[in-house]
Chain A
Amino acid sequence: MLASACAVSAFADTVEVVDSVGRVVQVQQPVRRIASTYGMGTYYVYALGAGDRLVAAWYVGLKSALQAPASFAVLEPRLGELLCSGDPNVEDLVARGADLVLADVAKTAAVALPLEELGVPTLVLGVETAQGVVDLTLLLGSVLGEAAAARAAALVADFYRVYGMASVAASETPTASRPRVLFLGADPLRVASGAMYQTGLIEAAGGVSVSADLAGSWNAVSLEQILVWNPDVIVIPSYGDYTAADLLSNPDWQSVHAVRLGRVAKMPRIFGTMDTPLPESLLGVVWLSALFYPERATFDAPAEATAFYSAYYGYSLTSAEAEGFLTP
């Protein structure tokens, strides 16, 4: 879904934008209190440096503060009071004094109408592709003030840089010799289908997804089918309950090429998950590219991660966290 930003001027009283469903919304400036009912949108708000303006937030993959990884405590000390889950309560959002509300086109779009009546600008948003990530970044940058707009531009520039470098590195290998990659899900026998964001990341990083012709979202497969595909590389998402070591030591998986070569890796996670359409997904491309083409050394993944989190989240990775970005 495309969204376009029509900023008049950074110091104008209102900014007019078009959201993901085509609604034209006037956003009063400056925006001081943001309520993000869009689980993915929340991470964009942080990346653009507006995290301190949140008054209520839904976080994708996080239903309670108890589930948060340790890094959250540093990045967002107010997590306990900000974190919401389930269906949003319009009155509660108004009570918190939100002057901008982000809604999820797939889940919480229903709040847009009552909030409109109450005069609270609401953006109904959705993103599914890399282009969508870029567009959403620019859109939010345009409504959140000058500093945020500058951050957005920098982030988008980084995005293009990373995608460009990965593409160049991959182009040296003909498609037929590119690594064949299997992206697993929360369970080792669940795999990503062709339509999912993960497949796009794999291709951007110069790999070929073996499960690309499956439809829908997550598909269950048998071990036999995995043996038929016989991938060269296996990727485990950060939200999988198992580790690379679990697969490498499992006798039933020994016949899989990737296991024999030891090329099984689990995505690290600091803040958002790198395989979903978030700003972090550019690190996803970095990490995957390093995983697929270790000999090319196109990216220094730990360094890229450290720079990214410092620039966009104001967070310094510990050395352990940085090492988590190394790939086999």
Chain B
Amino acid sequence: MPKRTISEDWLAVLIGFVLALFVGIGLIANIPWPIFGWLR
């Protein structure tokens, strides 16, 4: 059980940074985001 908690923490950090990277690439390359709700 402790192992799962630790790996989940690092996974969250990795996904967070990948998403932030995508945001940067999206802005530079001017890629439109999906249009649901808050992203409209």
Q: Do these two chains interact?
A: no
- Residues of A with Cβ closer than 8 Å to B? none
